[in-house]
Amino acid sequence: MANLALTNVCNLDCPYCFAGSNVGHVEGPRQDLSESKFEAALDLLERSGIAEARLLGGEPTLHPRFAHFVERALTRGFRVAVFSNAIMPESALRSLEEAPAERVSLLVNARAEQDHQPAQWEKVRETYRRLGNRVALGYNIDSRAPRMDFLLDHIVRFGLSPLVRLGLAHPRLEGGNRSLRPRDYPSVGGRILEFAEAARAVGVALEFDCGFVPCMFSQTGREWLQMPDLGRRCNPILDLLPNGEFISCYPLATLHREKLTQIVDAAELRRRFTAQFDDLRQATLYPECVQCEFRARGECTGGCLSASLLRSRSTTFTVSERRQAPEQKPAKIIPWAIPYIDQPAEFWQDLARSFDGHIREVYFPPPLEVLGTGRPEQPSRFREEFLRHAPLARSLLLNAITLPAPVEQVAPAVIEAVRRYRDEYGIESATVANLSLAERIRDAMPEFPLTASILMDIFQPNQALMLKGVCDTLVPASRMVRDLNALKVLRAAFPGRIRLLVNEACVSGCPYRVEHFHEMASGFEDPRSLCDDLLAREPWLRLTGSWILPQHLPYYEDICDEMKLAGRVTLHDPVKYRRVLAAYIRRQPLAPHEIGGGPASPLEPIDISEEFVYRTSRCGQTCHSCSFCRDYYDSWRSSRAPYPQLVQIRLPAAAGRAMA
Amino acid sequence: MIRSAPDTSWIVQADGVVLVNSRRRTAVVVRYPEAAVWDLLTRHPVAEVTRKVACIASLEREEAERVVRSAIDQWVAQGFLREEAGGG
């Protein structure tokens, strides 16, 4: 079997077309197979003992000598099969009509009537009407919900051959065409079985093209189809291009080519392609293929090689001995929201000079009479000076975790205060912990940017949707700060900016948190860290806190747009504040006890390895079934060794990918 | 300096990775733990890869070092990594 592409031009533009750059539109540059090459190709078929000349394109009937080629092939004793879209010139149609019916067939790459323009459909109908049962229909499945019923309708209506050839839309290695995703194969398998039943009911048989895999069908479906070789049909098809070069198949066209003039016969050609691709067959459609029973029994070769190879990843990297600045990805400049501490204007001027471009805003609490701020009242000697003269953008913090009265009563005064700060001091935005309050501010001041506070506890996608139209920026809940996968999901769900708080350090999902913040924000004289007793009993829990160290920020660069430093209380010392901020901006290593975290931060200078970060940022915090953090802490406490002796870790099945 | 060779890509399988040189149309299957070494090398320096491999596969540091070194040597020999003149 070999296919001869008579021309590269086509009068349709199917989005799934495998032919890629080997096919162009009729109005573009064309390349037609010459008569001498056609004859040479027939010679090759003859030498190879192949009885059928299969003509394809592009649209082969658009070759100006199509009728002549058909006649030549017939004269030399071949049967002729034409792969067409049925929209052909009259001369081509007539040549097929007049050819002996038993020696010529047309496989039409079919579309539903409504997918054609009226003039095209007229042509298709004419072809069907005049060639009748010499026409078989083919259909390329390029979506998980293919509509195939029209095929049976056309067969019955036009008296076409009772045969449907199904193909999967495979991806070209060079890319660019719409293809069926391998993860949709099982869904498509179900549709095919439904279609097969309907086809059988009207006496229509199915054929399958290359690239099908048995696992896309249920056990019952496989038994019903009775096609034991279904999974072994990814072999060199041998397509001759109009320029006289053979390719294995269109999807793999860029991988290897052989010249027609240098080939003895099709068997040799097939051997050459097989040898070229043999190694690459180790790539399979799914990661699990290597453990698959069908593959082990030789019933499947692992699907379309092109689709398999397209799973590959590629990046240029340098194997280096030491830590270095990433070669291809310079450190991303991420703007920071930093806390107000009560310092004179010179302090802020110094920060502005030192970290130019890195600081987005300084957030500051209004006096308690406006609203609670998530902390007890802090020193405010320099606040007025800061508000009037700080050379940095300033943002208001409305961080009461609970309101002192119903929002209807609280909101008007808060909105008035926000307006005043905006008009008098040029305050540019606010962070709000209460969604009802945020909604009212947004209604009253639609242009004023709002950030959803970490205290809103937004940690899953449905919550992110609740902020739609209200908050422009979101600070994800503390419980998810060390969960990279959850952060990725939240980022996908929230249309605005994600601001990550790096050093709050509550225990993840702490059940005392709400009460603690309520006490801090509500003027309690002695707000307590209610987790103290718990952490005294289980000190390793501090390792599960919501902190990220400066040296580990690269893990988060693609997940957030901004970062936020906490520390209105814990970083009130300006020297420490500056040192911590500099470390975060410059990615300089710090230990967790140095970052000005909260009450549940590690208190001791424990060394946090990258392994620790790597594991604990992907573990989902399933602490009930894992002792990693406890072991890590115990190991550090007992030996002060930098790395714990770990329990045996079974390598995950797809560790390579899991590590990505 | 050792770099990944042009045209080298890799495919994650359940039992390891397949390293592919698309130009030469060669491919080799790399099983774990070496598969993890490849994956980690794409993002981390050797010292860190060694630490991670020791941790993940519960190997002594010396053994992890041997696994990493031997894997790198083999990939250089197979052409998936290549030694280049110049600093680095």
Judged against a pLDDT cut of 50, whether residue A655 lies above it is answered with: no
- The per-residue pLDDT for A498 is 96
| Side chain identity, residue B70 | S
Based on the fold, state whether residues A359 and A471 are members of the same structural domain.
Answer: yes
Percent of chain A beyond pLDDT 90? Answer: 53
Q: What is the mean pLDDT of residues A533-560?
A: 88
Q: What CATH code is carried by the domain that includes residue A164? A: 3.20.20.70
Q: Could you tell me which residues come within 8 angstroms of residue A520 by beta carbon, excluding any fewer than 6 positions away?
A: A374, A375, A376, A527
Domain presence at residue A660: no
- The per-residue pLDDT for A644 is 34
Residues from chain A that touch B29, judged by Cβ atoms under 8 A, are 282
Q: Which residue of A has its CA nearest to B18?
A: A283
- The per-residue pLDDT for A269 is 93
Q: What is the mean pLDDT of residues A402-422?
A: 91
What's the token pair of residue A602?
């590690």
Based on the fold, state whether residues A222 and A345 are members of the same structural domain.
Answer: no
Of A132-136, A429-433, A495-499, B80-84, the range with the lowest mean pLDDT is: B80-84
Residue-wise pLDDT tens digits, A100-157: 999 999 999 999 999 999 999 999 999 999 999 999 999 999 988 898 999 999 999 9
Q: What is the mean pLDDT of residues A324-332?
A: 49
Contact between residue A199 and residue A152 where contact means Cβ atoms under 8 Å apart: yes
Judged against a pLDDT cut of 80, whether residue A660 lies above it is answered with: no
A320 contacts B42? CB cut-off 8 A: no
| Side chain identity, residue A144 | R
Based on the fold, state whether residues A121 and A216 are members of the same structural domain.
Answer: yes
Instruction: Find the radius of gyration of the CA atoms of chain B.
Output: 13
- The per-residue pLDDT for A279 is 87
- The per-residue pLDDT for A470 is 95
Distance from the Cα of residue A270 to its chain's centroid: 36
Judged against a pLDDT cut of 60, whether residue A260 lies above it is answered with: yes
Based on the fold, state whether residues A277 and A352 are members of the same structural domain.
Answer: no
Based on the fold, state whether residues A222 and A74 are members of the same structural domain.
Answer: yes
- A106 forms beta bridges with A82, A135
Judged against a pLDDT cut of 60, whether residue A487 lies above it is answered with: yes
Domain presence at residue A420: yes
Confidence class for position A490, pLDDT limits 50, 70, 90: very high
> Does B65 contact chain A (CB < 8 Å)?
no
Residue-wise pLDDT tens digits, B28-38: 999 888 888 89
- The per-residue pLDDT for A27 is 67
Judged against a pLDDT cut of 70, whether residue A26 lies above it is answered with: no
CA–CA distance, B15 with A282 (Å, rounded to integer): 12
Judged against a pLDDT cut of 80, whether residue A610 lies above it is answered with: no
Confidence class for position A327, pLDDT limits 50, 70, 90: very low
Based on the fold, state whether residues A111 and A195 are members of the same structural domain.
Answer: yes
> Does A277 contact chain B (CB < 8 Å)?
yes
Confidence class for position A325, pLDDT limits 50, 70, 90: very low
Domain presence at residue A306: no
Of A16-25, A160-169, A300-309, the range with the lowest mean pLDDT is: A16-25
- The per-residue pLDDT for A15 is 86
B41 contacts A319? CB cut-off 8 A: yes
Q: What is the mean pLDDT of residues A334-347?
A: 93
Judged against a pLDDT cut of 90, whether residue A59 lies above it is answered with: yes
Residue-wise pLDDT tens digits, A444-461: 999 999 999 999 999 999
Half-sphere exposure of A558 (CA within 13 A, CB side): 7
Q: Could you tell me which residues come within 8 angstroms of residue A121 by beta carbon, excluding any fewer than 6 positions away?
A: A113
Domain presence at residue A658: no
Of A483-487, A494-498, B7-11, B54-58, the range with the lowest mean pLDDT is: B54-58
Confidence class for position A207, pLDDT limits 50, 70, 90: very high
Domain presence at residue A314: no
Q: Which residue stretches of A445-570 are H helix?
A: 461-466, 484-493, 513-521, 532-537
SS3 string, B30-84, reads EECCHHHHHHHHCCCCHHHHHHHHHHHCCCCHHHHHHHHHHHHHHHHHHCCEEEC
Give residue A502's domain range.
336-606
Based on the fold, state whether residues A48 and A192 are members of the same structural domain.
Answer: yes
Residues from chain A that touch B8, judged by Cβ atoms under 8 A, are 314
Based on the fold, state whether residues A253 and A397 are members of the same structural domain.
Answer: no
Peptide bond between residue A236 and the one before it cis (omega within 30 degrees of 0): no
Domain presence at residue A364: yes
CA–CA distance, B9 with A317 (Å, rounded to integer): 11
A53 Cα to chain B: minimum distance (Å): 30
Judged against a pLDDT cut of 60, whether residue A642 lies above it is answered with: no
Confidence class for position A311, pLDDT limits 50, 70, 90: confident
Domain presence at residue A15: yes
Q: Which of A606, A628, A651 is the last residue of a domain?
A: A606
Based on the fold, state whether residues A23 and A106 are members of the same structural domain.
Answer: yes
Based on the fold, state whether residues A211 and A355 are members of the same structural domain.
Answer: no
Indicate which of B13, B15, B73 best probes the interface with A, i.e. most A CBs within 10 Å of its own CB. Answer: B13
Residue-wise pLDDT tens digits, A466-476: 998 999 999 99
Based on the fold, state whether residues A421 and A275 are members of the same structural domain.
Answer: no
Q: Which residue of B has its CA nearest to A173?
A: B22
How many separate domains does chain A show?
2
Indicate which of B3, B7, B12, B22 best probes the interface with A, i.e. most A CBs within 10 Å of its own CB. Answer: B12
- Identify the burial level of A186 via C-beta atoms within 10 angstroms of its C-beta, where 0-12 means exposed, 13-18 middle and 19 or more buried: middle
Indicate which of B4, B18, B26 best probes the interface with A, i.e. most A CBs within 10 Å of its own CB. Answer: B18
B1 contacts A318? CB cut-off 8 A: yes
Judged against a pLDDT cut of 50, whether residue A405 lies above it is answered with: yes
Confidence class for position A657, pLDDT limits 50, 70, 90: very low
- The per-residue pLDDT for A645 is 33
Judged against a pLDDT cut of 50, whether residue A36 lies above it is answered with: yes
Q: Which residue stretches of A60-141 are H helix?
A: 66-75, 90-98, 118-131
CA–CA distance, A589 with A583 (Å, rounded to integer): 7
Domain presence at residue A141: yes
- The widest CA-to-CA distance across chain B, in whole angstroms, is 38
Contact between residue A285 and residue A308 where contact means Cβ atoms under 8 Å apart: yes
What's the token pair of residue A480?
């998810």
Q: What is the mean pLDDT of residues A393-401?
A: 90
Based on the fold, state whether residues A522 and A378 are members of the same structural domain.
Answer: yes
CA–CA distance, B9 with B19 (Å, rounded to integer): 6
**A32 vs A632, which has greater pLDDT?**
A32
